[in-house]
Amino acid sequence: MKDNSEEMFPLVDEEGNITGAASRGECHNGSKLLHPVVHLHVFNSRGELYLQKRPEWKDIQPGKWDTAVGGHIDLGESVEMALKREAREELGIEDFTPQLLTHYVFESDREKELVFAHKTVYDGVITPSEELDGGRFWTLDEIRNHIGQNVFTPNFESEFKRLFKFSD
């Protein structure tokens, strides 16, 4: 498996207004074209956070633990549509109520994303797709103890610190 470099993404300004379109390949080649993504932090009722393991074939951050659901907003899709689609595709979750936590710009050496971060509490069955290398619930202490150990994606670590009041 590999990512489709021809897939089209909307380009946005920092408020999420669409300014154009570009392919996945163009967005991930260091161009820093700002494109929107959704993240969903899935908690269970015990307060544990589900994380997915990125497969080794991914073009960005292979083999690292990451936000439960994360994906690009496709051209013509709303934030809510993308969130529901990605949750269904990645974890088999369909019946959930997302709560918007924040939106912010994340920049790495390869890309620049406008992230719409959400959370939900979900105690149903989670079925990770073949797009993932599995996943599991982590206690927040377990996550805090592994921060900075090259276990998580840098994007997840920075978002976790920002959203869940973590200090080094």
- The residue with tokens 């918007």 is 100
pLDDT of residue 109: 85
Task: Tell me how far CA of residue 15 lies from CA of 19, 50, 81, 105, in angstroms.
Answer: 11, 28, 18, 10
| All residues at 6 or more sequence positions from 28 whose CB lies less than 8 Å from its CB, including other chains | 5, 59, 60, 110, 111
CATH superfamily of 8-163: Nucleoside Triphosphate Pyrophosphohydrolase (3.90.79.10)
Asked if 139 and 164 touch (Cβ cutoff 8 Å), the reply is: no
| All residues at 6 or more sequence positions from 84 whose CB lies less than 8 Å from its CB, including other chains | 94
CA distance 110 to 27: 8
**What are the pLDDT digits (tens) for 129-145?**
988 999 999 999 999 99
Largest CA distance in the chain: 42
pLDDT of residue 49: 98
- Structure tokens given for 78: 């709303």
- Structure tokens given for 130: 């073949």
pLDDT of residue 168: 47
Which pTM value belongs to this model? 0.90
Numbers of helices and strands, H then E, in the chain = 4, 9
Task: Tell me the domain boundaries of the chain.
Answer: 8-163
Residuewise pLDDT in 10s, the chain (168 residues): 556 778 899 999 999 999 999 999 999 898 999 999 999 999 999 999 999 999 998 877 899 999 999 999 999 999 999 999 999 999 999 999 999 999 999 998 888 999 999 999 999 999 999 889 999 999 999 999 999 999 999 889 999 999 987 554
Burial of 70 (0-12, 13-18, 19+ CB in 10 A): buried
Q: Characterize the bridge pairing of strands 135-138 and 49-53.
A: antiparallel
pLDDT of residue 3: 67
CA distance 85 to 63: 23
